[in-house]
Structures are given as structure tokens and as C-alpha cells.
């Protein structure tokens, strides 16, 4: 992500930006040093999301902003539910329930924001829909948070799971295409 951000900054001729990789669970910045902090599709992964959120907010100047995103409740479905049910029912692998349900609604985002000081919050639902192939769906699973679940399967199990799951998805497709719902919620917090 840092390399992509550097590339985009270079394309726009922006040279007053520095890019650094840091551990958000061990933030080593003083309080109130940033005007804007962004976090794309990640807050819900942190084991103690509320603590992480508060620590990030401390680094934002008064009058600054924290903008973060999360997938809406309906995102990736019905395909993700088929994926998770097959893993659970056939392979006894369950996604952590806390991750499946975090920051999926406006109310959940507002509750998180209420754990720290803020001036205002705006939650924006942004629909993102596009068609992908069944094979693109498999690629998505292997390049997103779902990969940690697939990594729990042996090679033989993985091949069997892939075959079974893609048959399910193919049955829902129209000429090999499925509509991917990646609806997103953006939390725009004025600190």
C-alpha cells in the first residue's frame, strides 16, 4: 500500500509527503501531530479495535479528521456466506465471529467513534458493484482476509474445497459472471 501511495503521489507531483510503515498497536507519535489520518478496510481486524481507534485519534490535531472505511453488512454476499458455511460445515473452520460482524453498520461505526473525543461524525454508504468471473472470485478470496481461513486447509483439502466452492458460485453465475457487492461505509470523523 505504501508503494502504491508513493506511486500515486509521484503521478500527481506531490513531494511534500513522507511515507513510513509503523505498528498501529505501538504508535510512536506524539499526540495531535496529524491533520488527517486514513485507514482503509482495516480497523475491524484489530483484536482490540476500540483501543486502537483511541490511540489513532490521539495523534490527530484538534480540528483534524479521521477517515476510515469498512465493508457494509451485505458486502460480498451471498458468495461470502457460501464460502464461510462450506468451510465451517465441511472442514470445521470458522471465521472469528467478531470479525464477521464488526463495523458493518452505521450504528456500529457511531458506537466506535463515541469511544473517543470527536466533534462530528458522518457515515457515508457508498455502493460499489461490478461483475467478476468465478475465477476472479477465487483470486479475491486468496488476496483478502479470507486467505487466513484457506491457509488452514491442507493442499488436498484446498483443492477439494476450491472445486466444491467454485461449483456453488458457478451455479449462481450468469455466463460465468457474478455481481460483486463491495458496498462500503466511510466514517468521516472530525476530531
Q: Is the pLDDT of residue 99 over 70?
A: no
Calculated CA dihedral for residues 98, 100, 105, 110, nearest 10 degrees: 30
Residues pairing with 179 in the sheet: 131
Report the SS3 class of residue 95.
coil
Lowest mean pLDDT among 14-18, 72-76, 95-99: 95-99
Whole-number Å distance between alpha carbons of 141 and 119: 38
The whole-number pLDDT of residue 95 equals 83
pLDDT in tens, 25-83: 888 899 999 999 999 999 998 889 999 999 999 999 999 999 999 999 999 999 999 99
Cell 461470502 appears where?
80
Architecture of domain 2-190: 3-Layer(aba) Sandwich (3.40)
Nearest alpha carbon to residue 158 among 88, 89, 91: 91
C-alpha angle 183/189/191, rounded to 5°? 170
Residue spans per domain, the chain: 2-190
Ordered DSSP codes for 3-23: HHHHHHHHHTT--S-------
Report the SS3 class of residue 131.
strand
Residue 45 is placed in which grid cell? 481486524
Across the chain, mean pLDDT equals: 94
> What number of other Cβ atoms are within 10 A of residue 185's Cβ?
21
Residue 133 banded pLDDT, cuts 50, 70, 90:
very high
pLDDT in tens, 56-70: 999 999 999 999 999
Whole-number Å distance between alpha carbons of 94 and 87: 7
Nearest alpha carbon to residue 25 among 61, 2, 5, 54: 54
> What number of other Cβ atoms are within 10 A of residue 38's Cβ?
13
Amino acid at each position: 500500500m505504501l508503494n502504491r501511495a508513493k506511486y500515486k503521489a509521484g503521478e500527481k507531483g506531490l513531494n511534500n509527503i513522507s511515507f513510513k510503515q509503523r505498528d498501529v498497536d505501538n504508535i510512536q507519535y506524539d499526540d495531535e501531530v496529524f491533520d488527517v489520518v486514513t485507514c482503509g478496510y482495516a480497523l475491524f481486524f484489530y483484536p482490540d479495535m476500540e483501543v486502537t481507534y483511541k490511540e489513532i485519534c490521539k495523534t490527530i490535531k484538534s480540528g483534524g479528521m479521521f477517515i476510515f472505511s469498512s465493508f457494509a453488512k451485505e458486502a460480498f454476499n451471498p458468495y461470502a456466506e457460501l464460502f464461510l458455511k462450506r468451510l465451517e460445515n465441511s472442514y470445521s473452520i470458522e471465521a472469528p465471529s467478531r470479525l464477521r460482524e464488526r463495523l458493518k453498520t452505521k450504528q456500529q461505526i457511531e458506537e466506535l467513534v463515541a469511544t473517543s473525543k470527536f466533534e462530528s461524525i458522518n457515515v457515508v454508504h457508498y455502493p460499489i458493484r461490478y461483475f467478476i468471473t468465478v475465477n476472479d472470485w477465487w483470486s479475491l478470496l486468496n488476496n483478502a482476509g479470507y486467505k487466513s481461513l484457506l491457509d488452514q486447509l491442507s493442499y488436498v483439502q484446498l483443492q477439494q474445497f476450491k472445486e466444491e466452492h467454485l461449483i456453488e458460485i458457478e451455479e449462481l453465475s450468469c455466463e460465468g459472471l457474478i455481481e460483486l457487492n463491495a458496498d462500503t461505509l466511510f466514517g468521516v470523523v472530525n476530531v
